[in-house]
Chain A
Amino acid sequence: MKKVLVWAAMAFASLSFSLQAAEPVSDVADLKAKMQKAAANVSSIQSDFTQEKYVSAMGNSMKSSGKFYYQKENKVKLEYLAPFKQNLVMNGNKLMMEMNGKKNIMDASANPMAGELKKVISACMSGDIANMGENYQLEFFVDGANYLVKITPKTADIKKFAQQVDLYLDKKDFSVVKMKMIEPLKKGQSKNDYTEYTFSNKKLNEKVSDSIFVIK
């Protein structure tokens, strides 16, 4: 009986490993071209999302959910519906956070850090990562259903906020399935804090009202 249990455990472990193992993409240039073509064909995205913020010091994570909207060019909205309502809107150079009826509007062109952060989030969530610039190192992997793009910032300023971003793209349409933003390790901690977004019920290229992205 003991042997059976050991074998079962080993089989389960190897299965888990095989599911998690992602192999490097052999033809990166081809994949990039396909991604760029797919991104060019997407004018809008609407989906549901869940956000999990893991804070190592708290020993648990905080979950939120809501609606995600993307409209070409450069318009992103995260409408949080639970556990409480709030909005994050990116439109051109502006970024707005709205909570409890209070709006905080930032001009990304006047705040380089906010601008860079906006660029990363906007590019990753829309899946349009081809134009992220030279400040990031991209590594491409493939597993069963998804491509995994590991994005590592090269500059110290950005590394303060994100050590790495893992982007999971659906192999079928290159749409974003999951995005995991990993923070740098903090003083006295053994695990990194991270924020993970999972997108579902995606609708591509359906009309999204411009009023959704208005910042004022």
Chain B
Amino acid sequence: MRKYILLPFLIVIMAGCTPKLFRNLDMRPATSVKIHRGNLMPAFDHLDSAKYYSAQIDFKENSMSGILALTKESEGRFRMVMMTTFGVSLFDFSVSRDSFIVNSCMEQMNKKVVLNILEKDFRSLFMLNVPEHFSAIYYKNPQKPDWIGYGVKADDGECDYLIYPKGTNFVRNIQNGCCIKRMNAVFDEQVVTIHHPKLKLKLILTELQQ
């Protein structure tokens, strides 16, 4: 009898712990799984040669646009260069799991708080905030079998990955951090949107076909 009394409380607690990303799809934690980072496919997976994106940064009422170039420097190390339309570099960073190098950065952006946000964002996007093998909580909704979720304790806090369709391991959505540090990345066909809702900061990347 006691367990029937406790069950509703348990469900409420479990639902409360479910990350917002999965709660929206009514997904529930199912089990704990071991994952190899290389088996998940974020949008920036194929960077054997440089890829170029049109980039738009919206911060509150201000907007800035340019071009973002991404490449893989070596295994686990990525380089990103953002420049204006007419070619002036805005920033140039190298990021790996254990380092973040500012090769150049325009003065207005060269501030610790801005660099910290960008470092964290790029680490999440390239999945450099998790070790090669990691444990995750597996989320699912039997009504939506094509969607699966992984909740991970990353280096920089809770990080959630939404995969669709099941079997492709294509990462559609990443959510990282909470409150003011919350970042939500959505990967569409050729568009990546990185959103910090509390900071009113949005970065939209559209892949350019060369």
> Chain A: residues with CB nearer than 8 A to chain B?
51, 53, 55, 57-60, 62-63, 78, 80, 83-84, 86, 88, 97-100, 102-104, 117, 121, 160-162, 181, 183-184, 186-189, 193-195
Tell me whether B32 is interfacial, beta carbon within 8 Å: no
CA of A181 to CA of B83, assembled, Å: 13
- Is B50 a contact partner of A58 (Cβ separation < 8 A)? yes
In contact, B52 and A62 (Cβ under 8 angstroms)? yes
Contact B79 A183 (CB under 8 A): no
Given the known interface contacts A57-B92, A99-B54, A99-B56, the answer about A88 and B67 at a Cβ–Cβ threshold of 8 Å is: no
Q: B residues engaging A (CB < 8 A)? A: 49-50, 52, 54, 56, 58, 62-65, 67, 69, 71, 73, 79, 81, 83-89, 92, 101-104, 106-107, 204, 206, 208-210
Please state if A83 and B87 are interface contacts (CB–CB under 8 Å). no
Is the beta-carbon distance between A55 and B69 smaller than 8 angstroms?
yes
When the two chains form their complex, are residues B85 and A83 in contact, meaning their CB atoms are under 8 A apart? no
Of B73, B86, B92, B106, the residue contacting A121 (CB under 8 A) is: B86
In the complex, the answer to whether B71 meets A100 with C-beta atoms within 8 Å is no
User: Is B92 touching A104 in the complex (CB atoms < 8 A)?
Assistant: no
When the two chains form the complex, which single residue of A59, A97, A160 contacts B50, counting CB atoms closer than 8 Å?
Answer: A59
A78, B86: Cβ atoms closer than 8 Å: yes
Q: How far is the CA of A78 from the CA of B58 in the complex (A)?
A: 23
Known: A59-B49, A78-B86, A184-B104. 12 other contacts (CB 8 A): A59-B50, A62-B52, A83-B208, A99-B54, A100-B65, A100-B204, A102-B56, A103-B63, A183-B88, A187-B103, A187-B104, A188-B101
A2 vs B86: C-alpha distance when bound (angstroms): 47
Known A-B contacts A51-B87, A55-B50, A88-B85; the reply to A102 vs B71 at CB < 8 A is: no
A186 to B83, alpha carbons, bound, how many Å?
14
Chain A to chain B: the 4 pairs with minimum beta-carbon distance, closest first: A195-B87, A58-B50, A99-B65, A187-B103
CB-defined A-B contacts under 8 Å, sample of 8? A51-B87, A55-B69, A59-B49, A59-B71, A62-B69, A160-B106, A186-B89, A188-B103
**Closest CB-CB distance, A51 to chain B, in whole Å?**
7
